[in-house]
Structure 1
Amino acid sequence: MKTILSIAAFLAIAGCSTMATDGPVKTIDGVLVGAGGMTLYTFDRDTAGSGKSVCNGPCATNWPPLLATTAPGGDYGIVTRDDGKTQLAYKGKPLYYWAKDTKPGDKTGEGVNQVWRTARP
């Protein structure tokens, strides 16, 4: 029993660190959500298909990127950030969390500065 619990704990931790390979994004109530059901956002200033995020430095502190090393396929891909890390994108648009969302289902980032949008399938 102890071994089974240890394996389950390992898989839960591994799932968090390799979310992109396990399907990091789900749709709940018409919105894309990431880890723990937290709402994901897109940034109007990011150009779909550019392969790059323009939200860096202080912007990325407020809008943490959904980091990933691989994409699950389909409409998902990977973009490279200025710091060399890679980020998951949906239909070419990088995906972000909003630091002020505190619980699953929060969507307080919608419309911030008229350039942030909840990510929708």
Structure 2
Amino acid sequence: MTIRFLAVLAAAALAATAAVAAPAMTGQSSLGPVLTDAKGMTLYTFDKDAPGTSSCVDACAQNWPPYMAGAGAMAEGDYSVIKRPDGAMQWAYKGKPLYLWVKDAKPGDTTGEGFKDIWHAAKP
């Protein structure tokens, strides 16, 4: 291999790495910094989940949609991908599965914080 080929290969690898976005972002809310999806919607954790396992299914998942991981998603830093009971893949932060809340209407909303004392905005 030539040095030029290796340089082109290294540049392509760097570009591919840069194109992969973090699974979640940090946004501002009345609670301070919170984890959000790409649209700026607050992500939540559920106290009834065991590390790496989602127990929010059926009606729960209709109100608290899981933050789904796309095909081929891989663990990255504090983020992991867990398998839901239905076989779908979901993002987790520090082992805690992440969810959205259907009653949050706009980026920065945190209306799910403290819901039934078991739902919490995910903090970075």
Q: Please tell me the TM-score bracket, short chain as reference.
A: 0.7 to 0.9
The code of the aligned residue for 2:120 comes to: R
For 2:112 and 2:27, how far apart are their aligned partners in 1? 16
* 1:114/1:44 CA distance change after superposition, 3 Å: same
Alignment TM-score, normalising by the size of structure 1:
0.77
RMSD of aligned Cα (Å): 1.2
Q: Provide the residue aligned with 1:88 in structure 2.
A: 91
Q: Provide the residue aligned with 2:23 in structure 1.
A: 24
For 1:95 and 1:117, how far apart are their aligned partners in 2? 10
For 1:71 and 1:55, how far apart are their aligned partners in 2? 22
Unaligned runs of 5+ in 2: 1-19
Q: Would you identify which runs of 4 or more consecutive aligned residues in structure 1 move more than 3 Å?
A: none
Q: Which of 113, 116, 119 is the equivalent residue of 1:113?
A: 116
Asked whether 1:46 is paired with 2:49, we answer: yes
Aligned length: 99
Tell me by how many angstroms 1:72 deviates: 5.2
- SS of 1:42's equivalent in the other structure is strand
| Pairing of 1:51-66 with structure 2 (within 5 A) | 51-66=52-67
Alignment TM-score, normalising by the size of structure 2:
0.76
Greater Cα radius of gyration, structure 1 or 2: 2
Unaligned runs of 5+ in 1: 1-20
Tell me by how many angstroms 1:65 deviates: 0.4
